[in-house]
């Protein structure tokens, strides 16, 4: 009887993951190219930046917060990187006065600028006690407006080859090993270590479990939250930089809706919106589920509009199941 109940709980807790696996099997059975090297490589290339974004959002969720500005920050980072990585002879350069800049310097500048946005988010939430939902919603709009002003609301292209090559190649010529796998892997290892082996990780889970108790125990909640939102923005900046390279262009539309995908991926992967729970491995699974869903619907030749409907349903179901688990524990 106990085993039966455990099996039911396992199926219930992982219903979305199981359904996507079944969908993937069905798609594979009906399409010979589903598991081709090109398709799998494309999946990994899509998962890489989105996993980095989801890792950033996860810290906010674990502390019972959220970050609705994630997608717009990704878009701003992509546009900033794009402006710094245009060729000197490109006729439509956004910053014609800017000298030739190596991509490492552009990445560093982008990440520092995004960290400043994260610091503002963290300070508003920590010191002004503005709920994370409202604070990051306001920042979402602010960043979008700033991005429109900076870019003149025009798409940016004409990238240097060195920047484009960052996201377009494969290790050892193997299409199963795209370059975007490496930054995602490095971020995953770093986040696992941060969450499981450092004082910061312990403080983060403690705040998510019971903020008042954590404060009484001596945790500097304000400092911890500021660090979490700064790290989140640094990860958004990194992801935006890579997405710009992968797309070969950037605009104010870049990153639209990525925050919802990241929140849904975290929730599917076991990061509870009620705080105090979440693992890096689960985040990766959640991102994979979302991207596999998109690819399956493309291979099954569904109208793109239905893809949005499917994604919306997955988000609603994921959050509903998370709330159900929380209420059951109570």
Please give the span between the terminal C-alpha atoms of the chain, in angstroms, as a whole number. 23
Are 292 and 47 in contact, with CB atoms under 8 Å apart? no
SS3 state at 152? coil
H or E element at residue 234 = helix 221-247
Concatenating the DSSP letter of every residue in 156-208 gives B--B-HHHHTTTT-BGGG-TTSBTTHHHHHHHHHHHHHHHHHSHHHHHHHHHH
Over its length of 330 residues, how does the chain's per-residue pLDDT go in tens digits? Answer: 444 557 777 777 778 889 999 999 999 999 888 888 889 999 999 999 999 999 999 999 999 999 999 999 999 999 999 999 999 999 889 999 999 999 999 999 999 999 999 999 999 999 999 999 999 999 999 999 999 999 999 999 999 999 999 998 888 888 888 999 999 999 999 999 999 999 999 999 999 999 999 999 999 999 999 999 999 999 999 999 999 999 999 999 999 999 989 998 998 888 988 888 999 999 999 999 989 999 999 999 998 888 889 888 888 888 788 777 766 665
d(CA 310, CA 325): 22
d(CA 178, CA 39): 11
Are 24 and 294 in contact, with CB atoms under 8 Å apart? no
């Amino acid at each position: 009887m106990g085993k039966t109940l455990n099996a039911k709980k396992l199926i219930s807790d992982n219903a979305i993951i199981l359904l996507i696996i079944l969908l993937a099997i069905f798609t594979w059975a009906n399409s010979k190219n589903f598991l081709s090297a090109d398709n799998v490589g494309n999946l990994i290339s899509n998962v890489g930046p989105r996993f980095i974004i989801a890792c950033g959002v996860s810290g906010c969720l674990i502390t019972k917060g959220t970050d609705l500005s994630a997608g717009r920050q990704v878009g701003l980072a992509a546009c900033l990187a794009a402006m710094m990585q245009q060729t000197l002879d490109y006729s439509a350069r956004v910053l014609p006065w800017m000298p030739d800049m190596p991509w490492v310097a552009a990445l560093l500048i982008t990440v520092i600028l995004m960290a400043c946005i994260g610091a503002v988010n963290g300070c508003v939430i920590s010191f002004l006690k503005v709920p994370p939902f409202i604070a990051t919603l306001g920042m979402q709009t602010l960043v979008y407006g700033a991005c429109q002003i900076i870019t003149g609301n025009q798409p940016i292209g004409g990238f240097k080859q060195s920047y484009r090559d960052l996201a377009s190649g494969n290790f050892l010529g193997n299409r199963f090993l795209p370059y975007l796998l490496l930054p995602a892997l490095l971020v995953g290892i770093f986040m696992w270590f941060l969450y499981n082996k450092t004082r910061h990780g312990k403080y983060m889970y403690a705040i998510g479990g019971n903020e008042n108790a954590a404060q009484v125990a001596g945790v500097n909640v304000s400092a911890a939250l500021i660090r979490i939102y700064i790290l989140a923005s640094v990860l958004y900046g990194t992801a935006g930089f890579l997405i710009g390279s992968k797309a070969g262009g950037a605009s104010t539309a870049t990153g639209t809706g990525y925050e919802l995908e990241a929140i849904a991926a975290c929730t599917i992967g076991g990061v509870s919106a009620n705080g105090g729970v979440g693992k890096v491995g689960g985040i990766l699974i959640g991102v994979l589920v979302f991207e596999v869903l998109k690819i399956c619907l493309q291979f099954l030749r569904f109208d793109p509009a239905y893809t949005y409907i499917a994604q919306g349903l997955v988000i609603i179901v994921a959050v509903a199941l998370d709330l159900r688990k929380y209420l059951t524990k109570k």
